Amino acid sequence: MATLIPDATQTKAHLTEMFASVQGEGPWVGERQLFVRFLGCNLDCLYCDVPETKTRQSRCRIEEEPGSWRFEWAENPFTVADLMRHLERFGSPALYHAVAVTGGEPLLHHRFLANWFPALRRAGYRIYLETSGELHARMERVASWVDFCAMDIKLPSSSGEKPLWQAHRAFLQVCRDAGIATFAKAVVGHNSTEEEIAESARIAAEVWSEVTLVLQPVTPFGAVTQAPTAAQMLRFQQVALAVHPRVRVIPQTHKLLGAL
């Protein structure tokens, strides 16, 4: 599938969906968050479970009630004011751990984010950024507003992408220097290798010894039909722990719940 890199402007952005749910990945699993999903991605991971972010969408769906799978629709693109108005329907910011800014790759919209994030902060929200973890120069432009960052470390075996080790290293440095509560996540496939896991752990150990590396077994979707076994995951964790002391195995949980 061809990837979509949207026209990035300061004042408008294309979204695919908004909903309230629980965070399903990583150390903040179970926290109630407001999800805002941006259109477009510069990568094309084999396991991608949001392929709709990679084709142009004229409308954004907005879930009516959390967990209902019933939606209203709003036209793209959104201004900052449009977006803030739509968020109000979900109730007080105090109900939520954070706004989860996701995609696609939200940093493709970094100019828009630089306008939107201060408005989110003024409204009382915290900001949780989910990213492929390689567009480090763009991250530098918005890092001062980000409270939490879930950054990927892409394994070529599972993603089908070329190695991005240097970009991930630079990205994690930006998060460290900005003092963002960050974890690095490697989606692990049945064909992933110990060398890839060790390299991911080396990045964490050498850049930021405090950071947690999450090994997330791939959830079969689309072209990916096979997940790694429990024995593989435990072996990979052992390999990573030999390099870096903070390594956790955490599968996706929101899909068990049947939530978005």
Sites of contact with ligand SF4 (CB under 6 A) = 41, 43-45, 48, 50, 53, 103-105, 132
Q: Residue 231 Cβ, how far from ligand SF4 at the closest point, in Å?
A: 25
Identify which of residues 104 and 239 has a Cβ nearer to ligand SF4 in the complex: 104
Q: How far is the CB of 97 from ligand SF4 (least distance, A)?
A: 21
Structure tokens belonging to residue 201? 């752990």
What's the closest the beta carbon of residue 222 comes to ligand SF4, in angstroms? 10
Give one DSSP letter per residue of 163-220, joined into a string.
Answer: P-HHHHHHHHHHHHHHT-EEEEEEEE-TT--HHHHHHHHHHHHHH-TTPEEEEEEPPP
Amino acid at 11: T
Which lies closer to ligand SF4 via its Cβ, residue 43 or residue 197?
43
* Residue with token string 């940093």: 107
CB of residue 205 vs ligand SF4: minimum separation in angstroms? Answer: 24
Residue 38 or 90 with smaller CB distance to ligand SF4: 38
Residue nearer to ligand SF4 on the CB measure, 23 or 243: 23
Q: Which residues contact 245 (CB under 8 A, 6 or more apart)?
A: 209
- CB-nearer residue toward ligand SF4: 185 or 246: 185
Q: Least distance to ligand SF4 from the beta carbon of 46, Å?
A: 9
Torsion over CA: 5, 6, 7, 10 (sign): negative
- The nearest distance, CB 171 to ligand SF4, in angstroms, is 13
C-beta of 186 vs 239, nearer to ligand SF4: 186
Residue 58 φ then ψ, to 5°: -80, -20
Using CA atoms, how far residue 45 sits from 2, 21, 85, 182, 252, in Å, is 11, 24, 33, 22, 17
Tokens of 70: 């019933």
Nearest to residue 153, comparing CAs of 138, 127, 175?
A: 175
